[in-house]
Amino acid sequence: MRALVLDDIRSTPVVRDVPTPVAPPGGVVVQVLATGLCRSDWHAWAGHDEIAFPHVPGHELAGVVSRVGEGVRRWQVGDRVTVPFVCGCGTCEWCLAGDAQVCPDQQQPGFTHWGSFAEQVALHAADANLVAIPDGVDFATAASLGCRFATAYRALAGRARIAAGEWVAVVGAGGVGLSAVMIARALGARPIAIDRNPAALELALRLGAEHAILADGRDIPAEVAAITGGGSHVAVDAVGSEQTASDAVLSLRRRGRHVQIGLLPPVDGHPRVPMSRVIAWELDLLGSHGMAAADYPGMLALIASGALQPQLLVERTVGLEEAAALLPGFDRSTVAGITMIDPRLSAAGGAAAGAR
């Protein structure tokens, strides 16, 4: 099969033929029909994760089951499926409590094993982790759920527990930030989008942001305080840097809740966080790490009803070769919206038969 391969840290990604994966016991192989290009893939390329090279990245995927491993009960060849980027073991106390996103024995396609920037991908503990894609939801929409959209949903609904009418300051209007804007609006909250890219802010306003603040060196917390009358109830760092985390925390009103979504890899050093403000204003600092398959039904119901439209986040679809060219510069790219990969698209950019 064709796959996007990383031969070493920061090597030029290449598309080449590799062995087709076999289904592990309890797992399946999925034919990949859509897979999102995410900042986490860039972290993998840059060597911020413990990864064995050569490696195939890709963790936001949807497709059709093509092989079924020994012992799988719930799935068969041909089923339309997606999967959270954190696949739990299915048997530990956290998995049994519905919190597979923090499973100590978790697998992550594209990190702990070869991922979905390929024609086929192996997935573990299929009965515990696979999610059926409802009729009427296409593969690109479903793929966008696995990491950024589901993470934003859980961050706001599950971790910050946002209420209607609350202000939600979202620092970073990339895939996860735009998802947070859309979800906050759908849940009746009042999102404010903050980004350095004017095009991303325009998209955020179309997706439901009440205000947009251009991060061009201005005092972000002061601007948020002026808009909200003293600070936001909830803030999200959807980028992952000392500056954006600090801006988010300092944008909160007293007793506000901060959710950290953007990755802050140890290789960059531990970020300084304004803890004096956290103490004096009794702020809550919350982490969010994806969403378990068990929590998908609530989100899928909102998508089926049309209240949430993650497909609006997908701005472009590319083939594996174009994705290989985009990956090394992804940390500084200024494209708005989510880039989706269809492994069936040829190097020349010609569209293969569409199953979307």
Q: Is 143 in the site for Zn ion (CB under 5 A)?
A: no
Please, what is the minimum distance in Å from the beta carbon of residue 281 to Zn ion?
Answer: 31
Minimum distance from CB of 125 to Zn ion (Å)?
A: 8
For residue 147, the minimal CB distance to Zn ion (Å) is 3
Which residues neighbour 279 within 8 Å (Cβ) at sequence distance 6 or greater? none
What residues form DSSP beta bridges with 109?
A: 113
- φ/ψ of 296, rounded to 5, equals -65, -35
Question: Residues touching Zn ion: how many (CB under 5 A)?
Answer: 9
CA distances from 40 to 157, 258, 263 (A): 22, 21, 8
- Which of 50-58, 145-153, 162-170, 317-325 is the region at the interface with Zn ion (rule: CB under 5 A)? 145-153
Beta carbon of residue 135, minimum distance to Zn ion (angstroms, whole number): 25
Q: Rule CB under 5 A: say whether 176 interacts with Zn ion.
A: no
Whose Cβ is closer to Zn ion: residue 40's or residue 260's? 40
CB 129 within 8 A of CB 150: no
Residue 96 interacting with Zn ion (CB under 5 A) = no
Cβ closest to Zn ion, residue 178 vs residue 220: 178
In angstroms, the CA 269 to CA 336 distance is 28
147 binds Zn ion (CB under 5 A): yes
**Does position 92 bind Zn ion by CB under 5 A?**
yes
Q: Which residues face 316 on adjacent strands?
A: 339
The single-letter code of the amino acid at 285 is: L
Chain centroid to Cα 140, Å, comes to 13
Q: What distance lies between CA 267 and its chain's CA centroid? A: 21
Tokens, residue 64: 């059709």
Residue from 3, 33, 83, 89 that binds Zn ion (CB under 5 A)? Answer: 89
Question: Per rule CB under 5 A, is residue 126 in the interface with Zn ion?
Answer: no
Least CB distance to Zn ion at residue 302 (A): 20
Q: Is 26 in the site for Zn ion (CB under 5 A)?
A: no
Which residue from 28, 56, 87, 95 is in contact with Zn ion, where contact means CB under 5 A?
A: 95
| Subset of 100-119 contacting Zn ion (CB under 5 A) | 103
In this structure, the chain runs to a length of 356
88 counts as binding Zn ion under rule CB under 5 A: yes
- Judge contact between 69 and 126, C-beta under 8 A: yes
Which CB, 75 or 330, lies closer to Zn ion?
Answer: 330
Residue 333 dihedral angles phi and psi, to the nearest 5°: -70, 150
Query: Per CB under 5 A, does 132 bind Zn ion?
Result: no
According to DSSP, the β-strands at 314-318 and 338-341 are parallel
Which 35-54 residues touch Zn ion, going by CB under 5 A? 38, 40
CA dist 337 and 304 (Å) reads: 21
- Residues in contact with Zn ion by CB under 5 A are 38, 40, 60, 88-89, 92, 95, 103, 147
